[in-house]
Amino acid sequence: MSHSARRCALIIAGSSVLAGFALVAPAYAATSGHSAAAAQVAGPRTPTGAPVRPGGISHLVGPRTTHAGARNTTTTSTNWSGYAATGGTYTGVSSSWTEPTGTCSSGDQYSSFWVGLDGYGSASVEQTGSEVDCDGRTLEYYSWYEMYPANPVNFSNTVKPGDRFTGSVTYTGGSSFTLKLSDTTEGWSHTVTKILSGAARSSAEVIAEAPCCTDSGGILPLADFTKVSFTDATVDGSPIGDFNPVGIDMVSANGVQEDSISSLTSGENFSATWLSSGNSRRGGPRG
């Protein structure tokens, strides 16, 4: 069954665990706010029928480490890579990126690129971004928003490699968030307003991710996206580098490095480079 067909299936919400502890999800309620033109479709599923979650909380596996001469503390995660401002209360995050060209060899693999608030040590994530998936040897591109732990919602608009995206998530007071995603190459933009009670707003991040979930609830293989470059990454209107963000590299559960991130330039630009799908059958470091 193709991913396009799988999108017709409903996504089933799952429980999540961060650093070995169960997280209690905040209350979620949907509101109107996306335009009538923002047609939505259900997200894809894995070949065995498990839901694909293109966003979600970070599964951290490494301690924070500061290397000699390095400007930023670093850590590792089995599903996130990028930069996250932590330790404060944040009201907004934004960045731009170019949709990378995926490479599919065999099997189903997945990768997503997004901006968001929360998820680094908290139970919710307010996020929006784009996706590159491999349905066997077939590439599929799409875009979405998610008020995790609520289910992701895909936009039906065309997404192609090389498209220029700008995404932002803004806390607008009370329990309200505004999520905006624009594809300036294809000429479409969506603004969505949602309510999420109890969001901590304790992190703001710009992330490349290996989505969830396998049948056992684990992280899916990371699709080969080659390289994705994020620019103009800002938090609360200032370069993300002003917040001494944590740099995150992605590793598989068995220790295979899946990608690497560059240092920040001008405090707001960086890239993530694919290394491995997370197992010894793919390129990159071996576990």
pLDDT band at 20 (very low <50, low <70, confident <90, very high): very low
Q: What is the pLDDT of residue 199?
A: 97
Interval 201-212 mean pLDDT: 96
Tokens found for residue 70: 């390095």
Amino acid residing at 146:
E
The reply to whether the predicted model has a pTM over 0.85 is: no
Distance CA(197)–CA(207), nearest Å, equals 23
- CATH hierarchy code of domain 3-12+30-274: 2.60.120.700
Higher per-residue pLDDT: 285 or 252: 252
Q: In the chain, pLDDT over 90 holds for what percent of residues?
A: 64
In the predicted structure, residue 29 carries a pLDDT above the cut 50: no
Q: Strands (DSSP E) along 3-57, which ranges?
A: 17-18, 21-22, 28-29, 40-41
Tokens found for residue 56: 């979600």
pLDDT band at 45 (very low <50, low <70, confident <90, very high): low
Q: Give the closest residue to 111 by CA, choosing from 102, 119, 120.
A: 102
The highest-confidence range among 22-31, 38-47, 200-209, by mean pLDDT, is 200-209
Interval 13-27 mean pLDDT: 35
Q: What is the pLDDT of residue 49?
A: 57
Which tens digit of pLDDT belongs to each residue from 194-206?
Answer: 999 999 999 999 9
Q: Give the closest residue to 110 by CA, choosing from 43, 14, 203.
A: 43
Which tens digit of pLDDT belongs to each residue from 274-283?
Answer: 999 986 333 3
Q: What is the pLDDT of residue 107?
A: 84
Distance CA(136)–CA(170), nearest Å, equals 36
Which tens digit of pLDDT belongs to each residue from 151-193?
Answer: 899 999 999 999 999 999 999 999 999 999 999 999 999 999 9
Report the DSSP pairing between strands 246-250 and 74-77.
parallel
Interval 249-253 mean pLDDT: 92
Mean of the per-residue pLDDT values for the chain?
A: 81
Which tens digit of pLDDT belongs to each residue from 220-230?
Answer: 999 999 999 99
Q: What is the pLDDT of residue 19?
A: 32
In the predicted structure, residue 24 carries a pLDDT above the cut 50: no
Which tens digit of pLDDT belongs to each residue from 89-131?
Answer: 999 999 999 999 999 987 899 999 999 999 999 999 999 999 9
The residue extents of the domains of the chain are 3-12+30-274
What residues pair up with 222 in beta bridges, in sequence order?
Answer: 110
